[in-house]
Structure formats: structure tokens, C-alpha cells
Amino acid sequence: MSRRYFGTDGIRGRVGQLPMTVDFIMKLGWAAGKVLSQSSRGQVVIGKDTRISGYMFESALEAGLAAAGLDVLLLGPMPTPAIAHITQSQRAIAGIVISASHNPYHDDGIKFFNSDGFKLPDATEQEIESMLDQELVMVEPEQIGKATRMEDARGRYIEFCKSSIAFHKNLRGLKLVVDCANGATYHIAPAVFRELGAEVIEVGTSPDGMNINQEVGALYPESMRAHVLENQADVGIAFDGDGDRVMMMDARGDVKNGDQLLYIIAKNKLLRGKLDGGVVGTLMTNLGCEHAFKANNIPFERAAVGDRYVLEKLVEFGWYLGGESSGHLICLDKTTTGDGIIAALQVLDGLGSSGQTLTEACAEMEIYPQTLINVPVSKKLDLDNSALVQDALRSAESALADSGRVLLRPSGTEPLIRVMVEGQQQEQVEKTAEILAQAVREAAEN
């Protein structure tokens, strides 16, 4: 069954418009409580990023869950993976994150974790959507849920992140620029790296409710670059608004994306005999990354785009490491979901073990030219049944032959069609991508 509200990463939209309205979110809290509790009383953990609407939706979710008879543990602003971790460690029945990740402040969203700290399967999200069609019926007054706040959530999570590298390891001698995007990692990430011994230059650590992801963070590396070069830092580390993805930068100011970071982590684990299987990427993972894994005899599989699908593949194969070009990196031997801070620590750990700089470690893999064009669409476009799009797609694939790849897919979080072309020749890649994007634009207008 098609889902009305849930996308590839929870529910997301512009604040004040369905589904991100107060009444809908309260009903969502009640519906989720009914489905997740299975008629037994329990506790649900709620965390949020730093956008101003989080306070409003936190109260709405709290009311809905209480009406369903569930207790609530409020964490305040915390990274998405922190909610997953604390949900698991508190033996809560579920965790809820109020965040729109890399989107601007006027958007917001809701993501769920189950009791084990993993994202909900599609079937459970479908159950919640079905429950939304039911009338909201409160439990009896004596069964209404209670809400409490966890005062030491920040400290707990900082210690958890630090424990993800060996106790005898530290970051002394490293100068790091840490860009928190004025988001949920603002009071967590600098402390983690500083307490492990690094010198930290903070960027994007002054959230005001509306400046989240505003020209800082993983999507805007220019700010990080300026600070890396000015301070002659060894490495720059940038997170998105909710802290589940990371981008890094070398001392020269060159950005290293999720594919390159994934390679460094995998190579380090391989050399230490701790890889335990292969690596899962996505349809967007650069072909050069796949070839680098092959050269090191590391098995590699592609999943659909979205960290939830990477996770499904990891579980299917019994592997532990996977991720996306966008910087969602999953280290299942450390945590249950994509975690920007822990992923960055694994990269720094790998550099420390090899004695390489970030530049040197990334030079081992070739990144093939890749062009991504986001084409806005006002309505759902059936790419498979558009003759215009399919003709352009066949021509592109024929021109690239075996030297490249083409991918067309709708965004799971925004009204966009993503057009990706990858190949060995930059000029051919760019030209092919623009031809395909134009075909999609014309099809969307018809």
C-alpha cells in the first residue's frame, strides 16, 4: 500500500501545512502510541534539533502519547542518533525525533525508532497511518501518561561517542574545525573531540531557532573551508542539522564525501581484521568507490537510496559497515543508525592507525565525475511511463556504454526528481545530465 505521510526518512513538510500542523502531530503521537505500545504501558523518548518549531511539536507529541496512555522522556535538543541510543539504553518502547535534518528552519519532520534503536519498518509506518484514520479516544484519566526530562542526556551521549574508539586512543596533536550547522550537535560534538584531546575550532554552535543549516554545516562547506585554511587545521568536520550525517575536509580545503570516508573506515577495519564481511553503498555511491573496494577484495553491494535501505542490506548480509555519498554512514558494530560524530571518530581513528593525512588516505580511490541535477516537480511524475524520459534515458545509457551510470529517482523528502550521471569524462557527464534533466522538466510540464 502507498503511504500518505511517511517518506524515506519519516514525515516531513513545511511548518503550518499538513502534515506539519499541531493537530496532526498530536494525532500522530496518539496513533503511534497505540501501534507501538501494543496495549501495554511504556515509555517513549522524544528528542529534537534546534529549529524553533520543535518546542511546539514536542508538546503536541507529548499530549498525543499521554492520551494513548504512554509516559514520555524528554531529551531536549539532541542529535538523531542520540535518541536511537538512549531509546535502546532506557529500554523504552520507541524513540521519536523532531527534525527535518538538512532542510531550512521553516520545515520540520518526525522520525521514529523502535525499542532496539532501529528505524521503523515500512509495515509499522503503514499501521500508524491506518490508525490516523481512527477517532482519537483517550485512555481513562488514571491511565494518562506522564512526562519527565532527562537532565544528563548530553553527558551520557558524549561518553557513548568517546567509547566508540579504543580507550587508549586519543586525538592529541590534531587541530579540528567542527561545524555543527547550528543544529543538534552544537553542544555535543565539540565536547567529544575536545575531551579526546583535539584542539577544536567551533563553527555553527550558536543556534537561535531559525539559523539551522543556514550557510553552515555539511551542505555549506565554504564556511568550514574558510576556518580550516585560516587556522591551518588538520581536518574539518561538518554535520547536518540533526547530526546523522557528516562531511570532512582536508588541510587543503578539499571536501571528502561519504564515499571517501566510507572507504577509509573500511580499509582501517580490513587492515585490523575487523571488517567482518563487506560494505553496503547505494545507487548513488561513486563507481570509483566500488572499484577501490574491489581492488582491496572487499565485497560491495548497492542498496536503494536512503540509510534505512542500507541498514536493511547490512542486516540481510550480516555485515556492519555501510553508507551514502551524502555522509550517512552506519557502523553497526558501534551503533544502530547513521551517526555523524561516531563516523568522524572512525575516520580519525583510521588516519591515526595508518599515519596518513586525510588527503593521503583519500588519494587511494579515484572519484569519477558525477553530476546531480535536482529537477523540481509540482506533481508526481511516473518516470517509467514517460516516453519522453525513457527515450532520453536509453540514449544516455547507450552513449555512456560501460564507462558510466545513469540514475533517475524521485526524492523521498522533497518534490524533486534527482538526475544523476556518472562517467569517466566530465564534459560528457555534464552534457548527458542536462539532456536528461531537460527531458524530465518537459515531462513534468505536460
pLDDT of 2 strictly over 70: no
In this structure, how many other beta carbons lie within 10 angstroms of the beta carbon of residue 232?
Answer: 8
Q: How confident is the model at residue 39 (pLDDT cuts 50, 70, 90)?
A: low
Predicted confidence (pLDDT) per residue in 325-342, tens digit: 999 999 999 999 999 999
pLDDT of 112 reads: 97
What structural domains does the chain harbor? 11-151 (3.40.120.10), 370-445 (3.30.310.50)
What distance in Å separates the CA atoms of residue 153 and residue 74, rounded to the nearest whole number?
Answer: 9
pLDDT of 108 reads: 98
Do residues 49 and 183 lie in contact, with contact meaning Cβ atoms separated by under 8 Å?
Answer: yes
pLDDT of 284 reads: 86
Do residues 410 and 416 lie in contact, with contact meaning Cβ atoms separated by under 8 Å?
Answer: yes
Residues carrying an active site annotation? 101
Predicted confidence (pLDDT) per residue in 218-228, tens digit: 999 999 999 99
Element (H, E) at 260: helix 258-271
pLDDT of 169 strictly over 60: yes
Handedness of CA 81, 312, 27, 12 (dihedral sign): positive
Grid cell, residue 77, equals: 535538543
pLDDT of 45 reads: 98
Comparing 25-34, 205-214, 272-281, 408-417, the range with the smallest average pLDDT is 408-417
- The SS3 assignment for 95 reads strand
Distance from CA of residue 341 to its chain's centroid? 12
- The model's pTM is 0.90
Task: Name the nearest CA neighbour of 235 among 316, 313, 175, 276.
Answer: 175
Residue appearing with cell numbers 542500507: 310
| Average pLDDT, rounded, for the chain | 95
What distance in Å separates the CA atoms of residue 336 and residue 38, rounded to the nearest whole number?
Answer: 23
pLDDT of 247 strictly over 90: yes
pLDDT of 40 strictly over 90: no
